[in-house]
Amino acid sequence: MYGIYAVTKGRGMGFGDVKLAFPMGLILGIKSGFIALYLSFIIGGFFSLLLIIIHKRNLKSKIAFGPFMIIGFALMFFYNDPILNFIQNHFGF
């Protein structure tokens, strides 16, 4: 997460997102933490695309990523085993 922040110089992702990712990893563990971040990117991208399609935002609009990180965290916190089983069965990780 810090790499994204450093490369984009804070324009692509704020430092608050970097600070939020650390406790997510501590609570969930490394594997579930990465999956939570992946889910966050997928959900955030879908939501952003939806906003662009209905003309509420454009490609240059900024959308907070923190809420999507919380959603990804909550999904992994409450549904960790089913999600990990799904990934294991379908992708072999």
The model's pTM: 0.87
> How far apart (Å, rounded) are the C-alpha atoms in residues 69 and 46?
14
Counted domains in the chain: 1
pLDDT number for residue 5: 83
Is it the case that residue 93 has pLDDT exceeding 80?
no
- 60-79 core/surface letters (b: 16 or more CB in 10 A; e: else): eeeeebeebbebbbebbeee
pLDDT number for residue 9: 84
pLDDT number for residue 53: 95
List the domain range (segments joined by +) for residue 23: 2-91
pLDDT number for residue 87: 93
Per residue in 34-85, pLDDT (tens digit) is 999 999 999 999 999 999 999 999 988 888 999 999 999 999 999 999 999 9
